[in-house]
Chains A and B, each alone.
Chain A
C-alpha cells in the first residue's frame, strides 16, 4: 500500500514532475498522463530523471494519451508500463490514496 502520484503536465512546461519526485516516497507509483506522457519518451531531456525514478518507484504512462500524441510503444523508455483507463482505476484502487500533482 502506497500512494499513486499522478502528473498530467509536460515537464518541459511545468515543474510538477520534479516536485512529485522530490516528495514521493520509495515504493510509490508514478502515473504520467495527458501532457505528462512526454516525460516517458526515450531521448527526451527528462529520460535520466525517469530512469532514476524507476529505481525507487513503479513508473506508468497512460497509453491512450501517448497514442493521441502520435507516440507508439517503442518510443517509450524501457521499464515504463503502459496502461489504459482501466489500469488507471486499478492503480488508484491498489494505492492507499491518489495524489494529483496538478
Chain B
C-alpha cells in the first residue's frame, strides 16, 4: 500500500517527529511504500543539517536523512514554511541573496503542490504534529 506522511511539528518539540519516524519505519518494514514525507509548518526544522543535539541524544535530522537514503524516500520541505524559518538550499540561497544554505542531505525544498499530490497519489496520508 502507498503511504504519504505529513509532519507539522519541529524536532525536539513534543513527540511528533519521533512518532512519524517510527511509524514510517514500521510502514517500510511491513513492505508498504512511502511515496513522500512532507514537512510543513515547524516541521521544516527537521531538515536543517546544522542541528547538533548532545551526543547521547538522538539526532532526529540525521535519522531522517539516513532513512531517506536507505529507502530512497522523497523528503520534501515546504518552501514558504522553510523561508520563514531559515531553511535554505543552494537555489534558495542564491535566489534570496543569502550567505549560506543548511538543507540536510536527502531533503529537497518544494511547494505545497507536493502535499496535494501526495494526498491524491497515496492511498493513506497520515498526519503527525501539534
Q: Are A92 and B3 in contact (CB under 8 A)?
A: yes
Residues of B within 8 A of A98 (CB): 124-127
The stretch that binds A, out of B20-28, B63-71, B106-114, is B20-28
In the complex formed, the residue of A with least CB distance to B14 is A34
A90 to B3 Cα, complex, angstroms:
12
Contact of A102 among B27, B29, B125, B127 (CB under 8 A): B127
Residues of B within 8 A of A64 (CB): 22
Contact of A92 among B22, B29, B124, B130 (CB under 8 A): B124
CB interface residues, A 48-102, toward B, < 8 Å: 64-65, 84-86, 88-90, 92-93, 95, 97-98, 100, 102
Residues of A within 8 A of B19 (CB): 8, 33-34
> Total A-B residue pairs with C-beta atoms closer than 8 Å?
53
Shortest distance from the beta carbon of B105 to any chain A beta carbon, whole Å: 25
Is B120 positioned at the interface, with any CB of A under 8 Å from its CB? no
A64 to B19 Cα, complex, angstroms:
10
Q: Are B127 and A100 in contact (CB under 8 A)?
A: yes
Q: Are B124 and A102 in contact (CB under 8 A)?
A: no
A34 to B15 Cα, complex, angstroms:
7
Contact flag A85-B26 (CB < 8 Å), given A92-B124, A98-B126, A102-B130: yes
Shortest distance from the beta carbon of A78 to any chain B beta carbon, whole Å: 26
A39 to B16 Cα, complex, angstroms:
18
In the complex formed, the residue of B with least CB distance to A64 is B22
Provide 7 A-B residue pairs closer than 8 Å at the C-beta atoms, listed in order of the A residue: A8-B16, A8-B128, A33-B19, A89-B23, A89-B30, A93-B124, A102-B129
